[in-house]
Amino acid sequence: MSGGRWRWARIALWVALLGAPLAPAAMPPRARPSHEIFYQIFVRSFRDSNGDRIGDLRGITEKLGYLQHLGITSILLTPLQPSPFYHNYFASHFTGIDPAYGTMADYFAFVHAAHELGLKVYLDEEFQYVAQGNPWWRKARAHPYGRYGNYLLWRNRARGIAEPFLNRAKWQDYDGRSIGIAMVNLNDPAVRRYFRRLLLFWADPPGHPGDGVDGFRIDHMMDNLDHKGLETHLFSRFWAPLFRTLKARRPHLRILAEQADWGYGHRWLTRGHADMVFAFPLRAALVSLSKRSIAEAIRATAAATPPGKAQVLLLENHDTDRYMSAVGDTMARARAGAAIELVLKGEPLIYYGQELGMRGRVIAHDMNDEAQIPEREAFRWRNNLLAPGSAIWYRSDPRVWQRRYNRSDDGVSLQAERANPQSLYHWYRKLIALHRSRPELNGGREQLVCPRDPQVLCVLRREGAQRTLLEVNLGHTVRRPRIERSALSGARWSDLLHGGSAHPHAPLRPLEVRILGTT
């Protein structure tokens, strides 16, 4: 991007937020698939492009070909905004890009390159809070009854004590610094206008036709923020009007809500007017790999999802244990979970490194941000963890580095797994290719077809005459699937994983996966 275009982008953002109207940009039509496969990137940990060991936007841009080859359709980034916290939630500024990640020019170059490859881009937004050092914080604390005093909520306004996040005045970053976090007053009209203009800028940036994002993830979305009774009816008063404004400008833009209770998300999809929520209860069932728990979660998830809305299926994300660690470091269990995620009804999300079987567990009983670094370690491009491009930003802290999960030459790297046809990486590529090629996996009907079998999970996906049947033995003994005859209807089945013909009633070994299809 030329210097002039970058200056225009920066000026346009500030003009927008200061209140001048944004001129509508011409948006060329771009086909939007009705069904997406997400890849979530923890930006700081994905790919370092300049040798400082911090993942950055240029690093992601350089690896877009890898993501396209893997088969994903949509990239979800963790926040890019400047923040005193390493994860970039809790902003010190709502505008711009964390300098460690690059410049606004790097950002637009990334979005443009992704769109050129047919990949969609989603930004993660969290603006219900501000971190100590944010201009709103400084100005409000200096003049609690001034203009910016209305931008925050107060525990004691006269004494300049802001209402804290989750009732803790200070929060520790992984390096031991204690940083205040205050609640934003989302009821203030000026605050609402500010965030409306901010998201409109990212969705439809002046001077960058076609480089607007394709959707937003809303972090920690609630109707009654933190259950304090201070900001209520946010679904109808804040979120729904904001989403309507965005979609008036960009009709195909989608909203992915992180429902704060990690439940089934029905109220977020209906009253909150989000397009998608995360299938958190189903994720918990997939960690257990219990046939009964998975079946119950499938039924409850379907019941909670209105027509036209979607559940995003996941095995892990930046707030959970890595799936490989959660299932006891067992490859067969990891393969079974991946197969179920990519066959069930919903839009799957792959967390960076999930396809390699990266490991990591949240450190229990640790109240600072170090607790979650294990599931946010550097993506494993090479066998050597110290190889150029490895985003090992946490190496500077000896305690964190010593407790890391990933080690050089541990077999969990793209370099090692590409060379091994039996690796988890190749398993994911095969499953993702199936998911994309089978119309019934992109929105067809879903049916559990061996409900009386206590061990074998059987899921039939159907679109017209074409069907895909998943069978997974979740027990400890060899089983023949007890499938309802009406579900088979005399169809001839082929083995979609290994080729050739197959029979749905053939025996399955413990944790064996079989995916059959008709044509």
pTM over 0.85: yes
| Model pLDDT, residue 285 | 98
Domains of the chain: 3-128+186-434 (3.20.20.80), 444-517 (2.60.40.1180)
| Cβ atoms 83, 89 nearer than 8 A | yes
Percent of the chain exceeding pLDDT 70 equals 92
Q: What is the tens place of the pLDDT at every residue in 1-11? A: 444 444 444 54
Residues sharing a CB contact under 8 Å with residue 204, sequence separation 6 or more, in sequence order = 22, 24, 25, 27, 212, 249, 250
Expressed in angstroms, the distance from the first to the final Cα of the chain is 48
Spatial distance between the Cα atoms of 205 and 198, rounded to a whole number of angstroms: 10
| Model pLDDT, residue 21 | 44
Q: What is the tens place of the pLDDT at every residue in 114-137? A: 999 999 999 999 999 999 999 999
Residue 222, pLDDT above cutoff 70: yes
Mutual angle of helices 331-343 and 424-437, in 10-degree steps: 10
Percent of the chain exceeding pLDDT 90 equals 84
| Cβ atoms 199, 241 nearer than 8 A | no
Q: What is the tens place of the pLDDT at every residue in 437-489? A: 999 999 889 999 999 999 999 999 999 989 999 999 999 999 999 998 888 87
| Model pLDDT, residue 177 | 87
Sign, CA dihedral 253-259-265-271, equals negative
Between the CA of residue 470 and those of 162, 303, 446, what are the distances in Å?
A: 53, 21, 11
Spatial distance between the Cα atoms of 39 and 74, rounded to a whole number of angstroms: 6
Q: What is the tens place of the pLDDT at every residue in 357-414? A: 999 999 864 556 788 999 999 999 999 999 999 999 999 999 899 999 999 999 999 9
| Cβ atoms 343, 441 nearer than 8 A | yes
Q: What is the tens place of the pLDDT at every residue in 306-352? A: 999 999 999 999 999 999 999 999 999 999 999 999 999 999 999 99
